[in-house]
Chain A
Amino acid sequence: MSLWVDKYRPTSLNKLSYHTEQAAQLKRLVQNGDFPHLLVFGPSGAGKKTRITCLLRELYGAGVEKLRIEHHNFTTPSKKKIEITTIASNYHIEVCPSDAGVQDRVVVQELIKMVAQAQQLDSSTQREFKVVLLTEVDRLTKDAQHALRRTMEKYVTTCRLILCCESTSKVIPAIRSRCLGVRVPAPSNQQICSILQTVCKKEGLTLPPELANRIADKSGRNLRRAILMLEACKVQQYPFRPDQQVVEADWEVFLRETANAIVSQQSPRRLLEVRGRLYELLTHCIPPDVIIRGLLTELIDSCDGQLKAEVTQWAAYYEHRLQLGSKSIYHLEAFVAKFMSIYKKFLDEGMAAMML
């Protein structure tokens, strides 16, 4: 059984349902024969990956869809072995170099070298280069990014890079200036709605527009999430009802309960309980920065104006420390304690004012 998200993923540039102008431009880029390195960026669930897949198909034809999973071993200068899983066709290879952690530099260099030096298997294809698709470039170390920039110059004749990331903030300018930036904005709510309707039509379901709207709203302009939500809703209840509850990810619900627990009581004891829940989230591989962001969104609802700004600033403060520090729990907990303290003071003052 394949998920709707995967089942209804468009496979050619012509079939993309939004940002069609951009799709046309990409097509022209391919026909031009003068294909630069690309840096595709945009928020999660905006369709970066889909666009890239379509682009690859446009470049190489259907052969690019025959994928295989490969395991590569690299040896660092310090004789450490790194294993990396890649997904490849005859024409391209896809890898997430940040999987290799701090050793990502070696992976980037070796992999591109390997691809660039291997001869194109099928010489009849019109392309004289292969494509290396690197995902999560923003999580690469600076070291690896510098190496990448050098490598992309060196092997420019035999391979092209497509870099994929959420934001260009963490990509060094040297790379940015060597790539053609392709910004993929998130689809608007209307666009999401119409895509949801299309999916339902193909599945032979009827989707009330109200529900579609609410799903789009909840998804935060994230198409992947919207379609996943839709499918979850269908599992939960079909035929759809306009006022049906939109299914959310379980960890989000859990996070909301955690936030409620924080708001309802501020005591060392509660802090301890919240810590248990934070650990629970962490062990389920929810990244700490996502947790802190989610907590903020939930907590902010029970604050008033001035407090909101203050809490936000603290969240940003501790989130930054989270990135620098080594153990996320310290900083998560510090944020929770901070909020409890601020909030308690706020409540106490409110009480005092009422008494007067």
Chain B
Amino acid sequence: MQAFLKGGSSSGLKSKKDKPLSDAKPGSSKERRQPNAPWVEKYRPRTVDDVAFQEEVVAVLKKSLQGADLPNLLLYGPPGTGKTSTILAAARELFGADLMKQRVLELNASDERGIQVVRDKVKTFSQLSASGTRPDGRPCPPFKIVILDEADSMTNPAQASLRRTMEKETKTTRFCLICNYISRIIEPLASRCAKFRFKPLSSDILQKRLRHIAEAEKVNAEDKAITALIDTSEGDLRKAITYLQSAHRLKGEDAITEKDILEITGVIPKDMVSQLIQTCYSDSYEKLEKSVKDLKAEGYSAEQVILQIHDEVLPREDLTDKQKSVIAEKIAVCDQRLADGGDEFLQLMDLTSVMMQQFCHPGN
């Protein structure tokens, strides 16, 4: 569904650039059987009312929808909380499904958004006039919507130039910026928008949605598996649904177990991590080396290991604050080194050997 929308909404602009593609696309997407559609798109909320858990946002949006006007919007919050879904649903209610193609421009790639590209696209798009009626005669607001997904990955100069564009086109166009971190949006731009914060979804909501989808798709999932999904997705519904679909693809009719979910999400089983931490208490470098090597041989990423060590070590009550702070500092350093491309084995050894030192010889 989303693919369809996207293709449509930007087709006016795309057709200039890559004709062969836009020709091929509708044909092949028709052939695609229904199960191929990503569930994330299939179960995207259709109306603003369907949007889960974000009551305040929904209330405000609904008010503006009734008044048939929309301010410039800035939606922010963690991934998978329904930001894009909300604005798409709102647009659908405003324009109806048919008109939406013409009225909505979605720019969502980090790499296609140099200053010039944004300016040009937005300019061409907003210059098309928009009438106040739908084809079927019902009234609709006389403006268009530009959705800038992942606005926080735009460079500062690009954001600054967007400010001007926003002011210039204000009569015909509304902008909707979507981002994860509002701190990365420059102040002048943020101040021109109505800001809405999206909260992480609660596990109840997640569970309800997942259950709903599982039933609709006839997925055979154990309760534990759903719990694991909720745990690993950290309030990100999109992630949870994607994982569920992946698990379903792999397992087919068979029951999806907790293990399958962990496997797909790349999360390391708890006992392996605690075993590693236990090894740190042994004060034996050889044993430590062996268990780190084994962990690596299992194919787990060091980043994930460090993350889980962090979650595991910090709540421990047998450690003093000083020990914890030493370990936490090392975790930060190692994580940064990994991000810089450092060797996984060495960084893990570094961290765990510090832990071993802290556990066994806290004095030093």
Contact = CB atoms under 8 A, between A and B. Distances in A.
B218 interface: no
Interface stretch (B171-179, B199-207, B340-348): B340-348
Contact of A169 (B344, B346, B353): B344
Interface string B1-34: 0010000000000000000110011001101110
B327 to A, nearest CB: 13
Interface centre among B246, B250, B252, B364 (most CB of A within 10 A): B250
B29 to A, nearest CB: 6
Given A32-B249, A157-B24, A167-B301, A183 B111 contact: no
B296 interface: yes
A345 interface: no
Interface string A290-320: 0011001000100001101100110111011
Contact of B334 (A42, A150, A168, A316): A316
A147 B347 CA distance: 29
A312 B350 contact: yes
A81 interface: no
Contacts of A154: 21
Q: Is the interface of A mostly helix, strand, loop or mixed?
A: helix
A43 B20 contact: no
Contacts of B250: 25, 28-29, 180
Contact of A168 (B263, B266, B297, B357): B266
A25 B264 CA distance: 12
Contact of B299 (A43, A315, A320): A43
Contacts of B242: 177
A309 B110 contact: no
Interface string B313-345: 000000000000000000000100110111111
A167 B302 contact: yes
Contacts of B304: 168-169
- A-side interface size class: 35 or more
Contacts of B354: 309, 313
A150 B112 contact: yes
Interface in B285-300: 285, 289, 293, 296-300
A10 interface: no
A20 interface: no
A221 B349 contact: no
Contact of A33 (B3, B33, B264, B350): B33
B184 interface: no
Contacts of B32: 157
A207 B24 CA distance: 57
B341 A170 contact: yes
B94 interface: no
Contacts of A155: 21
A180 B20 CA distance: 29
A159 to B, nearest CB: 11
Nearest to A220: B293
A160 B220 CA distance: 27
Given A36-B249, A300-B285, A157 B28 contact: yes
B264 A180 contact: yes
Interface string B224-246: 00000000000000110010001
B38 to A, nearest CB: 9
Contacts of B342: 316, 319-320, 323
A184 interface: yes
A289 interface: yes
Contacts of B298: 183, 185-186
Contacts of A147: 111
B263 to A, nearest CB: 7
A167 B341 CA distance: 11
A183 B340 contact: no
A121 to B, nearest CB: 15
Interface core residue of A186, A305, A320 (most chain B CB under 10 Å) = A320
B164 interface: no
Contacts of A296: 346
Contacts of A32: 249, 252
A36 B246 contact: yes
A168 B345 CA distance: 14
Contacts of A289: 343, 346
B66 interface: no
B109 interface: yes
A117 B18 CA distance: 10
A158 interface: yes
A320 B335 CA distance: 11
Nearest to B296: A43
A220 B265 CA distance: 26
B337 A320 contact: yes
B340 A323 contact: yes
Interface in A166-199: 167-170, 176-177, 180-181, 183-186
Interface string A219-249: 0110000000000000000000000000000
B346 A315 contact: yes
A41 interface: yes
Interface in A72-120: 116-117
A316 B349 contact: yes
B350 A34 contact: no
Interface in A118-154: 128, 143, 146-147, 150, 154
Given A117-B20, A150-B111, A183 B353 contact: no
Contact of A186 (B36, B238, B299, B356): B299
B302 A157 contact: no
Contacts of B35: 34
Interface of A: 25, 28-29, 32-34, 36, 41-43, 46, 116-117, 128, 143, 146-147, 150, 154-158, 167-170, 176-177, 180-181, 183-186, 220-221, 289, 292-293, 296, 300, 305-306, 308-309, 312-313, 315-317, 319-320, 323-324
User: Closest 7 CB pairs between A and B?
Assistant: A316-B350, A42-B299, A186-B297, A309-B353, A169-B303, A320-B337, A323-B341
23 contacts: A28-B250, A117-B24, A146-B110, A150-B109, A155-B21, A158-B24, A169-B301, A169-B338, A177-B242, A180-B264, A181-B246, A183-B300, A186-B298, A221-B297, A289-B346, A293-B346, A296-B346, A309-B356, A313-B350, A316-B334, A317-B350, A319-B342, A323-B342
Given A168-B304, A181-B246, A181-B264, 17 more contacts: A25-B251, A143-B111, A167-B302, A169-B338, A170-B341, A180-B250, A221-B297, A289-B343, A292-B346, A293-B343, A296-B346, A309-B353, A312-B346, A316-B334, A319-B342, A323-B341, A324-B340
